[in-house]
A and B are shown apart, each in its own frame.
Chain A
Amino acid sequence: MAKIPEDVLEAFEHEKKMCMVATVDESGSVNVVPNVSLKVTGEEQVAFACCFDGKTTNNLKAGRTRVAIAIYKPRAEGFQIKGLLQKLHDSGELFDEFSAQVNPMLEAMGINGKVLHVATIKVREVYALTLPIAGERLV
């Protein structure tokens, strides 16, 4: 377990942040996709919405629970969170909160999708991703 550092929290709060989530399939192929819904939901927890029944959702559903998340704060700050899936939420307070935020955004963009699950991730390790300290473990 690892408490998310202050500068990583700031990156999550940044209006123009970009995030990607990496998971692994049964053949050992890594899948990495953008996710616009990622946010901090606890001192040691982040969460994101799964809006399509794609590879990320299927990898998590299949019990391959290791996740790597890259967060980029323009113009030159990046972090990696390594964590473990805690739960895929299909209902409840967190699910409703994400649905209320993400569904209207998708609708406004003309995207045929809605929040199907919310994945909560327990943070285990945090690394810097940008030079000159890329790769340095922060927690």
Chain B
Amino acid sequence: MVKMPKEVMEALSEELALKVVATINKKKIPNAIIVATLKALDESTVVFADLRLGKTRENLETTKKFSVTVLKPNLESYQVKCSFQGFQETGELAFTMGEEVYKKVRLNPKAFAFGTVEEVYSTSLTNPGEKLA
């Protein structure tokens, strides 16, 4: 099982970091969106809310993979490549995270998307492309 290094976990939890989720459709056309709700559930799992996912939801269900890149204001950056596990609409985890998201953006998520970490890379200018896990 691939585990995210500590610095990647910290970057994902940073409030001011930009987090972009990229997917592709059947024709291999990329789609990239900003997802402020994304966080690491543990070292091998990331999760984000479906607040208004359109193409991303469609792409996840079709191609079953996504990449998330986090960029801190100091330009430290990481890319986490994930396999899509599915959406959770109900259950304790969805309820707890739903409350967290509502406090932040005053919107109720439709569901939460779960991904398993497959590869981790640096995307910082100091060592771009270096595989970290």
Contact = CB atoms under 8 A, between A and B. Distances in A.
The answer to whether A and B belong to the same complex is yes
Interface of A: 18, 20, 22-24, 28-34, 36, 52, 54-55, 64, 66-70, 72, 78, 80, 82, 106, 109-111, 113, 129-132, 134-135
Contacts of A22: 20, 22, 30-32, 67
Interface stretch (B2-10, B39-47, B69-77, B87-95): B69-77
A135 B24 contact: no
Interface size class, chain B: 35 or more
Contacts of B69: 20, 32-34
Contacts of B126: 110-111
Nearest to B119: A29
Contacts of B33: 70, 80, 129, 134-135
Contacts of A30: 22-24, 30, 65-67
B51 A29 contact: no
A11 to B, nearest CB: 12
A69 B54 CA distance: 17
A112 B125 CA distance: 9
Contacts of A134: 33, 51-52
B129 A66 contact: no
Interface of B: 18, 20, 22-24, 28-34, 51-55, 63, 65-69, 71, 75, 77, 79, 81, 105, 107, 123, 125-126, 128-129
B52 A68 contact: no
A135 B56 CA distance: 10
B29 A82 contact: yes
Given A20-B18, A34-B75, A82-B29, A54 B125 contact: no
B5 to A, nearest CB: 18
